[in-house]
């Protein structure tokens, strides 16, 4: 696979770099930081949606797939960004929202105006009785997944916000429209595509049952056929194009098909099961310490099953919808540097393609805002109101938001120690994290022991050693309740990764012959290798046998 040694960097444009002093990031801001991304060593930059949008859901409500949201810049800016990235050996990946459009999209407007052809672009259905929606399906944002449209006299389906109407992929014209969008941006030089909640595009029977309806539209009956057709009609025509699908509540069995070699669907998949191990009773807004044993089992299961099925994982801890991993699974106060490096080591040495979310590479942390007025995310405000109704105290609610809010990932990128962390000359759209003078790119580049330098080393390891890019995954220490360890093996070359997930010294018997293994990368100085090892808090080791090391 041509992408097995690649590393992808995710940019949330609104919070990355503001070139105009408006307080919001833009495309010219991205262009100004391409040298930094080249220095980091990444191969692709994935931008969350920059298309024209009312921004009801941060751009995931697209009103025009062919034009750029003016607050981000112009088509000329995008063309310049693509060309300048290419000069630096970096491909651009666009975020394609194909499950739904904004209700501000021209197609929906024509549907509401009475055009039957465009009504068939969406799911307009009669209620099962007067005033009642067609099914009891629940929106992922809460409430009914159906909204009544009086001008049509029917309900339309929206699995997300009511301003995000689901597209009808059984309509061949819709499928042709989607392929045309991909091909338009391929023509502009875009070399990768991330497909938002793409395993929801095929709906099954429109029925009600005792559940929220997920089983009727998750990994639906025609989803693989639709992706194979999209592949054939667009990105599959370029063997070097890299694609990734965001898979909502999916299964390994389906992902073997979505991202399987020779299946002609996608290059790789995101799954999210490992990021729910700290949800108490499955509730995002109920806190509990993360379940390390469960986390390890999920990571290992996906590694093993995807490997056996010759399918490919997208590897990540962070994105624009998740709190910062170093605050979540590490210790961002006492062991910030060590735990950030440890988490990076786990992901970057696994079988799959690593994704870095902006700021992760310098150890950015949760914001932990001190008042609800500082949060911008609609989900956070909804959660605040819901928890208030349940009688939860203000202090506890803010503690929950401090650990769970999506805004933790959306604070401005911390470039330096100047005002607003060098993100903007204006007033930032959301407050900068208070620790920006301690954690920023400028300071990290001067520190040879920084989290940034550790990320650079991990990226180079993947490019330099085929065993990390292509090797077989072998789990170690399955039963250890505090340490995660595994081997990567390619021919007679092997790499061992050992990581302590806790702030205590952990002793482990590696259970294998350690003769000849030497430390290749560590987050501590003077690490010692033995079969029986005492790992320091959050210690991570990448070990190779001496004869395997290729300088």
Which positions are annotated as active-site residues? 196, 246
Q: Which two tokens stand for residue 357?
A: 């979310």
Q: Which two tokens stand for residue 450?
A: 């920084």
E strand residue ranges, 238-334: 242-246, 268-270, 279-280, 283-287, 314-315
- The distance in angstroms from the start CA to the end CA of the chain is 24
Distance between CA 520 and CA 547 in Å, rounded? Answer: 12
* Residue with the two structure tokens 């208030």: 388
Q: Which three-class secondary structure state does DSSP give residue 157?
A: strand
Residues 469, 331, 292, CA angle at the centre, nearest 5°?
Answer: 65
Nearest CA among 172, 218, 181 for reference residue 64: 181
User: What are the backbone dihedrals phi and psi of residue 518, each rounded to the nearest 5 degrees, phi first?
Assistant: -130, 155
Strand order in the sheet with 44-47: 268-270, 242-246, 192-195, 91-96, 44-47, 8-11, 353-357, 314-315
- In angstroms and rounded to an integer, the radius of gyration of the C-alpha atoms of the chain is 23
Residue-wise burial string across 198-234, b where 16 or more C-beta atoms lie within 10 A, e elsewhere: bbbbbbeebeeeeeebeebbbbbeebbebbebbbebb
DSSP letters for 12-47 = -GGGT--SSSSSS--HHHHHHTHHHHHHHT-SEEEE
């Amino acid at each position: 696979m041509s992408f097995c040694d690649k590393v992808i960097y995710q940019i949330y444009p609104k919070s990355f770099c503001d070139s105009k002093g408006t307080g919001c990031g833009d495309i010219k801001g991205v262009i100004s930081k391409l040298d930094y991304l080249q220095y980091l060593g990444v191969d692709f930059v994935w931008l969350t949606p920059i298309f024209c949008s009312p921004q009801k859901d941060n751009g995931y409500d697209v009103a025009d797939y062919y034009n750029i949201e003016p607050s981000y810049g112009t088509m000329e800016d995008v063309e310049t960004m693509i060309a300048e990235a290419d000069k630096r050996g970096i491909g651009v990946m666009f975020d394609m929202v194909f499950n739904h459009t904004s209700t501000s999209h021209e197609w929906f407007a024509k549907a509401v105006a009475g055009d039957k052809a465009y009504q068939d672009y969406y799911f307009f259905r009669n209620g099962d009785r007067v005033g009642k929606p067609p099914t009891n399906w629940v929106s992922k944002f809460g409430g009914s997944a159906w909204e009544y449209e009086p001008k049509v006299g029917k309900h339309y389906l929206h699995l997300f916000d009511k301003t995000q109407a689901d597209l009808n992929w059984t309509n061949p014209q819709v499928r042709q429209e989607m392929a045309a969008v991909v091909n338009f941006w391929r023509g502009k030089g875009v070399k990768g595509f991330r497909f938002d909640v793409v395993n929801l595009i095929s709906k099954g029977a429109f029925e009600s049952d005792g559940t929220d309806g997920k089983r009727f539209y998750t990994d639906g009956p025609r989803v693989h056929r639709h992706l194979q057709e999209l592949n054939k009609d667009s990105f599959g025509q370029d063997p070097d194009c890299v694609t990734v699908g965001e898979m909502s509540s999916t299964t390994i069995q389906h992902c073997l098909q979505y991202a399987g070699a020779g299946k002609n669907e996608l290059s790789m998949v995101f799954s999210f099961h490992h990021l729910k191990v700290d949800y108490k009773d499955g509730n995002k807004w109920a806190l509990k310490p993360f379940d390390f044993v469960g986390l390890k089992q999920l990571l290992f299961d996906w590694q093993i099953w995807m490997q056996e099925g010759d399918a490919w994982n997208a590897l990540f801890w962070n994105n624009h919808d998740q709190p910062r991993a170093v605050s979540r699974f590490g210790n961002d106060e006492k062991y910030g540097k060590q735990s950030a490096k440890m988490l990076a080591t786990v992901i970057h040495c696994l079988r799959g393609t690593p994704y870095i979310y902006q700021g992760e590479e310098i150890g950015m942390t949760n914001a932990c805002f001190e008042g609800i007025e500082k949060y911008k995310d609609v989900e956070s405000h909804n959660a605040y109101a819901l928890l208030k109704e349940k009688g939860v105290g203000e202090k506890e609610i803010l503690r929950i938001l401090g650990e769970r809010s999506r805004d933790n990932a959306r604070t401005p990128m911390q470039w330096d120690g100047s005002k607003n962390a060098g993100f903007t000359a204006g007033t930032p759209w959301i407050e900068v994290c208070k620790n920006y003078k301690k954690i920023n790119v400028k300071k990290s580049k001067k520190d040879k022991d920084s989290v940034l330098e550790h990320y650079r080393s991990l990226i180079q390891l993947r490019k330099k050693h085929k065993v990390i890019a292509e090797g077989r995954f072998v789990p170690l220490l399955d039963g250890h309740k505090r340490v995660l360890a595994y081997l990567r093996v390619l021919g007679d070359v092997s790499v061992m990764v050992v990581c302590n997930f806790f702030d205590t010294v952990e002793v482990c018997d590696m259970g294998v012959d350690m003769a000849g293994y030497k430390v290749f990368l560590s987050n501590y100085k003077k690490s010692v290798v033995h079969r029986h090892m005492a790992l320091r808090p959050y210690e991570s080791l990448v070990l190779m046998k001496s004869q395997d090391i290729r300088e």
